[in-house]
Structure 1
Amino acid sequence: MIGCFGTARASAVALWLLVLWTPAIWALRTTSGSPCAGVCGTTTNTTSNEISCLDQAYNQTATGKKFEKCISCQLESDFHDANTGESDVNWGLYNLRYAFSTCVFGYPDSISNTSSPCPVTCDIIRTAVGEDIQEPSISNLDDWCDSPSFADNVVNDCELCYNYTTTQVYMANFLESIRYNCHFRTVTGKKFKIEPTRIFTQSLLPSSLSLTTPSSSSSNLNLGVVIAVPIVGFLLILCSLTICCFFFIRHRRKKARRTGQTGHHMYNNDSSNAQQAWAERQYAAGGYGYGFGMGFMDNDGRGQELAYGHSTSDQQYQQQYQEHFQGQAKSGFSHQVIEQPPSQSPVHSQILDPDQKRPQQWQ
């Protein structure tokens, strides 16, 4: 009896020592039956022992490498439980939020001794990020997105602060990834839109505020189309302006041509009217006044009048004038005289001039 008791006591002590010195097996929360369980482990809760806060730890430590492999597997997995509604993507995003809250705010456990001003910059979103972090369930995994404290402008400032650091740029990408899912919820059974290789890098992710809502029916725009659309639009505007200028100049030229022709006709009409009026004044005015013609006396002592004009009768008068001049050249008379026929002599009104004699007095 004593021997059996001693053997049992020794076995209990050995088992206690084995449990005491055996390292605890920690894991990250994932969907039951997930293919990622081989990388993430099987556990009901994520703990801070599986979290790394420095960027270099994800490349140099076993904890960091395991965390990156587990999250990469979950975000690229389309596995989900139809009965519970759980999916690997949801738990992968939860694990990222857990890591951010632990490293930045020290909640639920403080494991980072890094000195940085960024926790102060990000302090406003502390409440939202830490909501239900210790009691996660499929019903509250996304409730924290609706918290008023999770403001986009504060998130931008927080990301910018961590982007300026040289050791914790990953934290900025963790925050942007969970914010993206708040704006654009991942459909159950679909992979996460952001590739894990873009999250675990020191290149900052673009803000999800500049993105459009993805849809299954929409296709990605080709870069050539994006470049060609503004160019085609510019060419269309340029062609439209060219056509408008062409028709405008054409209209102006037609208008100027019509205006010039109208002015030319008016000038010709005015000139014709002026000449006609001048001729009427020359032949209708009475007497032998100065400027309306030329009065003189021939060798017989008879008075004659030569009127100005360009009509056919004037040409006849000039011809008579030349013939008369040739006939009187030998008589020594120095003035050329043209006698108007009585039937063609115009009737002139009397001009009151005391020095002028009437034609009847010359006859």
Structure 2
Amino acid sequence: MAEVRAVVARAKGEPVEVTTIIVPDPGPGEAVVKVQTCGVCHTDLHYREGGINDEFPFLLGHEAAGVVESVGEGVTDIEPGDFVVLNWRAVCGACRACKRGRPWYCFNTHNAKQKMTLADGTELSPALGIGAFAEKTLVHSGQCTKVDPSARAAAVGLLGCGVMAGIGAAINTGNVGRGDSVAVIGCGGVGSGAVAGARLAGAAKIIAVDVDPRKLQWAQGFGATHSINAREVDDVVEAIKAVTDDFGADVVIDAVGRPETWKQAFYARDLAGTVVLVGVPTPDMTLEMPLIDFFSRGGSLKSSWYGDCLPSRDFPMLVDLYQQGRLDLDAFVTEEIPLDGVEDAFHKMHTGDVLRSVVVF
């Protein structure tokens, strides 16, 4: 058992606080990880705002990298000293998705069974089953993915959520291929990841769409060949078509997750093209469209969960590309901050000043 400092959200909408928590020794199938870095993701803010559920208090943080400190009984795939990126898809191997050979859809991912607590014994709900705004955290061993230990932790830790979601939306879900045209609507951390993924896949045209010139500039750095400021054009759909010989893009990725952006994605794709929704809508959002348009345009309408990634396959591969200089994960790290800087990072997220703030321990 260890006492460590951590960031906790005690109640809906209230500022987070740095406090002491208790991390138990790992039980069967579990591991304690000494966290080195953890990115500040919009999902953490959703937890604080009560947008995920109301199981307060939350131990926030989930885009993390660190070193395994200890493991519980039966753990054989990792050992103390391993450098790992944490993931929230610890595949079970036994659900219907896993049995059909599609573990990236695993419906029964593993989390640690024991609970981390406040000093008074109050049980904490770890964000996405991880809770890594903490000097140490308890996870299921399957949530630890070993990668090259010489890699920069602040950069590769971001594969734990947003960057992987974006890259995977392009490569895994969208199946972007060589020579394809791709449009990405919304170019924050996830959208910029989608741009980077499309570039890795060999897309010929990558069209970045946003209302913020800074984000469009970031997207160009990740490989966008064209940019569209949605505030400066009359019709985003027509602007995308103008870049694609009036046909529309082969793949359009909605990294915002609103009815209006999804409709733009739907109508901005070529006939038989693909729409990928990776931005997360709120439960109250609805969509009304002519059913004939779905039939007559053909193609695929997909939702991307965590970039449909398989951490054991994708994390080491992407870290290798990063180490080779072919994937600039460093560019996602806008600033490195201390543990008590998380609340301020949430404010910067609202103003669009950062791609990612990263807590460094």
TM range, smaller chain: under 0.3
Larger Rg: 1
Normalised to the residue count of structure 1, the TM-score between the two structures is 0.24
Structure number with higher strand proportion: 2
Normalised to the residue count of structure 2, the TM-score between the two structures is 0.24
| Greater RCO, CA 8 A, separation 6+ | 2
Structure number with higher helix proportion: 1
